[in-house]
Each structure stands twice: as structure tokens, then as C-alpha cells.
Amino acid sequence: MTVDPSPVDPRAFARNLDLVRDRIVGAGGDPERISVLAVTKGFGIDAPRAALAAGLFDLGENYAQELIEKATALAGEAPAPAWHFIGGLQSNKVRLLVDHVACWQSVDRASLVRELAKRAPGATIHIQVNATAEPQKSGCPPDEVGDLVARATEAGLVVDGLMTIGVDGDDAATARAFDSVAAMVADLGLHHASMGMSADLELAVRAGSTMVRLGTALFGTRPRRSDAAVRD
């Protein structure tokens, strides 16, 4: 991995985490009941270390190579993180990630369910929902989510929740998307509604998010896409 141009200071991280908890409370949420997934993509190895030192064990990465490099670098250290894969997932990456990933949050199609059932039997997943019907966006269409959840469960995977991404710059559309995904989580009897990023945390908490995925709010501005990610 290349040198991180903006190292993460553990004290700055602790302050940022306090601010995040204030924002959750300000939006009417209970920080004890909403998991914070620390998204370390683009940051160096000191980012996951800062999160772990502050008691955040759930870490998120978008790119296979970058997740594997960080997981490998931390191997053997305590406490151990639970890595969540939150990026676009290609079937051929599953095999490489299997030893490292605790939760696959971006499962959005039957072919991925089949590959995971084969390579990672019993794995914990979220179904990613494209709740805003933007054609370029990944995610399962809302009317196919029930089927995909059933398929995954039949294949022996543990569907722990739904994940969705808001619409950049459109609070009204984002709030509608979060409301509809929270309703789907309730209808399907699932555990987690993984929604809310640094820019739309409050909208997600108001809609009933149980897991917010935060990068910049915790670590500051993301340096850039790492070389590892470009190779992905």
C-alpha cells in the first residue's frame, strides 16, 4: 500500500466519533442501538487501527484488494475486526475474500447468492437494494428483494439485513428510499437496515437505520483511491 498522505490521529478519531454520536442523538437515534461501520477505504492501515482502538470492530471496505491488504496487515492483532464488504462485488472476487469477510453487504443478484453459497456456506449477507430506481446504480430492484432474500435463505446464507445508498444531493429522494428500505426490513423480519453515510446520516437515523456506514465523518477527507483499489 502507498504512503497515506493524511495519517489518522487516534485523538481526532475519538473526537469525530463523539460528533457522530451527537449527530445520531440529534436525529432522534440511540447510539447504543445503531452500529457504526467504520469505512476505511482509501485510508491507510492506521484508520482501522484507530477504529479498533476506539471500540469500533465493524469495518467496511469497497475493493477486494484493499480489504485483503488491510485484513492481512492486521492479522494476529487484537481486537480482531469484522470486515464488511460494501462495494460492487464481482463473483470472481468472492473466492479471494472468503477468508476475510464477516458480512457481505452488497449482494444484489442471484448469481452472487449462488457463488457465496458455494464458496462461503452459511455466510452472513445483506441484500443491497436500489430503492431509488437509478439505472446506473447497483442493487436489487425493490420488487425483487423478497425473492432474493428467500433464495439466499434457501441456499443456507444468513440474511441479516438490507443495505442501501441514498441519492447524492437529493434529500427528499434519499428520505423516501430510506423509509422504503426500513419498511422492507420490517416486512421481511430482518435485523439490520444498513443505511446512512457521512452526508445523510440524520436522514437515515430518522428513517430507522440500525447501521450507519461512515468514512469521512470519522477519518476526515478521503485521500484518494488507493493503488490497491485501482488494481481491483
When asked if residue 86 is in the footprint of ligand PLP (CB under 6 A), the reply is yes
Q: What is the DSSP letter of 167?
A: -
| Closest distance of CB 216 from ligand PLP, Å | 4
Find residue 198's DSSP bridge partners. Answer: none
Site for ligand PLP in 14-43 (CB under 6 A): 39, 41
When asked if residue 226 is in the footprint of ligand PLP (CB under 6 A), the reply is no
Stretch that binds ligand PLP, among 109-117, 148-156, 173-181, 191-199 (CB under 6 A): 191-199
| Closest distance of CB 60 from ligand PLP, Å | 6
Q: Over the range 109-132, which residues count as b (16 or more CB within 10 Å of their CB) and which as e?
A: beebbebbbeebeebbbbbbbbbb
When asked if residue 216 is in the footprint of ligand PLP (CB under 6 A), the reply is yes
Please, which residue, 21 or 155, has the CB nearer to ligand PLP? 21
Residues in the chain: 232
Amino acid at 114: R
Site string for ligand PLP, 144-163 (x = CB under 6 A): --------------------
When asked if residue 198 is in the footprint of ligand PLP (CB under 6 A), the reply is yes
When asked if residue 59 is in the footprint of ligand PLP (CB under 6 A), the reply is no
| Closest distance of CB 76 from ligand PLP, Å | 27
> In the numeric block, which cell numbers belong to residue 106?
452488497
Contacts of residue 163, Cβ cutoff 8 Å, sequence gap at least 6 = 86, 105, 106, 126, 127, 128, 129, 192, 194, 195
Distance CA 183, CA 207 (A): 9
Alpha carbon separation from 102 to 79, 190, 216 (Å, rounded)? 15, 17, 22
From the list 117, 162, 214, 228, which residue makes contact with ligand PLP (rule: CB under 6 A)?
214
When asked if residue 62 is in the footprint of ligand PLP (CB under 6 A), the reply is yes
Binding site for ligand PLP (CB under 6 A): 39, 41, 62, 86, 165, 197-199, 213-217
